[in-house]
């Protein structure tokens, strides 16, 4: 096992008893990385037996609240837990506008954002290749109805994971996901209720087929997207393993 993925949440901005908003934790090379930090993500890290203090890097797909509301919780914790700054440094990566977005938290909650000794911001992020032996992480442009949005690919010791974030079908994600072991794809709506900037079972399946991924796991399900029909819809196109994720699910890659 080179990479472990913990699916912290599998839902959307619509409150759900069973699905917190979609965020992922990934462990590779002894490092703990988050992809998105939606509401409930920080608590889910603790529930998984890990600590928010383990988080070293956060890759934000886009600034919608279901992907970012947990940052306020995290910032508050960092400001109030009395940790040594050198132990608690976090780097946040994301699309253009990241600095402005993070500074917005200071407008809402005076001075909530940790200072530069504890927080590094990398907006308009393209790639975070590691000079050492750690994971290689690249962003690609997603198609989220005109919003600045990224999908991410992580490669480490021959294992590869792609997270679509929120997106419609787009060739850039097919290219980014080429040959990946695991595709974690949003699957927001049924095909007969498709909305631009989001995937359905058939468009998620199309990406899986065209990219030739080894396995697809579906996340970011709105209440109208039933699990059984999500799987059935993907399987109509894609003949590899298909699952709908549940909150707290852990996957070794
Ligand atoms: Zn979303
Ligand atoms: Zn969104």
pLDDT single digits (tens) 123-156: 888 777 666 789 999 999 999 999 999 999 999 9
Cα separation, 197 vs 43, in Å, equals 28
% of residues, the chain, pLDDT over 90: 90
pTM of the model: 0.96
DSSP state of 192: G
Give the distance (Å) from ligand 1 centre to CA of residue 140: 17
Q: What is the CATH number of the domain that holds 181?
A: 3.60.15.10
Res. 1 pLDDT band, cuts 50 70 90: confident
Task: Single out the residue of 195, 182, 196 nearest to residue 225, CA to CA.
Answer: 195
Tokens in use for 169?
A: 């079908």
CA separation, residue 58 to residues 160, 177, 203, 228, 230 (Å): 18, 20, 27, 32, 28
Per-residue pLDDT at 204: 98
Ligand 1 centre and the CA of 152: distance in Å?
15
- C-alpha of residue 62 to centroid of ligand 1, in Å: 9
Residue 131 has what pLDDT? 63
- Which ligand places an atom closest to the C-alpha of 23? 1
Is the confidence at residue 213, as pLDDT, over 90?
yes
Rounded to 5 degrees, what are φ and ψ at 21?
A: -60, 155
Nearest one of 95, 86, 85, 29 to 59, comparing CA atoms? 95
How far is it, in rounded angstroms, from Cα 25 to Cα 55? 9
Phi and psi based region of residue 252 (left: phi greater than 0; alpha: psi -120 to 50; beta: remaining): beta
**pLDDT, position 86:** 65
The ligand with the least distance to the CA atom of 149 is 2
Q: How high does pLDDT run on average in the chain? A: 95
**Structural domain span for residue 197:** 3-252
- Could you tell me the distance, in angstroms and rounded to a whole number, from the CA of residue 233 to the centre of ligand 2? 22
What per-residue confidence (pLDDT) applies to 85? 63
Please tell me the distance from the alpha carbon of residue 102 to that of residue 44, in angstroms, as a whole number.
22
Whether residue 232 is predicted with pLDDT greater than 80 in this model: the reply is: yes
CA–centroid distance, 150 to ligand 2, in Å, is 10
Cα–Cα distances (Å) from 44 to 22, 135, 242, in that order, read 11, 23, 24
* The total number of structural domains that make up the chain: 1
Query: What does R_g of the chain's alpha carbons equal in angstroms?
Result: 17
Kindly state the tokens that stand for 170. 């787009």
Which ligand ends up closest to the CA of 67? Answer: 1
Distance 12 CA to ligand 1 centre (A): 5
Please say if the pLDDT value at position 14 is more than 90. Answer: yes
Q: How many CB atoms lie within 10 A of CB 246?
A: 13
Supply the pLDDT for residue 128: 76
Pairwise CA distance, residues 244 & 242, whole Å: 7
Token digits of residue 157: 């010791």
Task: Give the mean pLDDT of 101-111.
Answer: 94
CA of 132 to the centre of ligand 1 (A): 33
What average pLDDT score do residues 69-80 get? 94
Q: Which ligand is nearest to the CA of 13?
A: 1
Helix (H) or strand (E) holding 102: helix 98-108
């Amino acid at each position: 096992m080179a990479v472990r993925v913990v699916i912290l949440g599998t839902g959307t901005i619509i409150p759900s008893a069973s699905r917190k908003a979609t965020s992922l934790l990934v462990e590779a090379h002894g490092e703990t990385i988050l992809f998105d930090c939606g509401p409930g993500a920080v608590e889910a890290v603790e529930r998984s037996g890990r600590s928010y203090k383990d988080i070293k890097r956060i890759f934000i797909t886009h600034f919608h609240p279901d992907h970012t509301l947990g940052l306020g919780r995290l910032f508050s914790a960092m400001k109030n837990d009395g940790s040594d700054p050198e132990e608690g440094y976090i780097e946040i990566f994301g699309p253009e506008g990241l600095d402005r977005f993070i500074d917005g938290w200071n407008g809402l909650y005076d001075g909530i954002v940790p200072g530069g000794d504890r927080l590094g911001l990398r907006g308009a992020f393209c790639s975070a290749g590691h000079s050492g032996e750690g994971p290689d992480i690249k962003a690609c442009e997603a198609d989220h109805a005109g919003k600045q949005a990224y999908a991410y690919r992580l490669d480490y010791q021959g294992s590869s994971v792609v997270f679509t974030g929120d997106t419609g079908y787009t060739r850039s994600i097919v290219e980014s996901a080429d040959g990946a072991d695991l595709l974690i794809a949003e699957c927001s709506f049924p095909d007969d209720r498709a909305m631009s900037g989001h995937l359905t079972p058939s468009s998620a399946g199309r990406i899986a087929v065209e990219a030739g991924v080894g396995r697809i796991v579906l996340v970011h399900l709105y209440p109208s997207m039933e699990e059984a029909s999500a799987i059935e819809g993907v399987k109509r196109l894609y003949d590899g393993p298909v699952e709908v994720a549940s909150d707290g699910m852990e996957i070794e890659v």
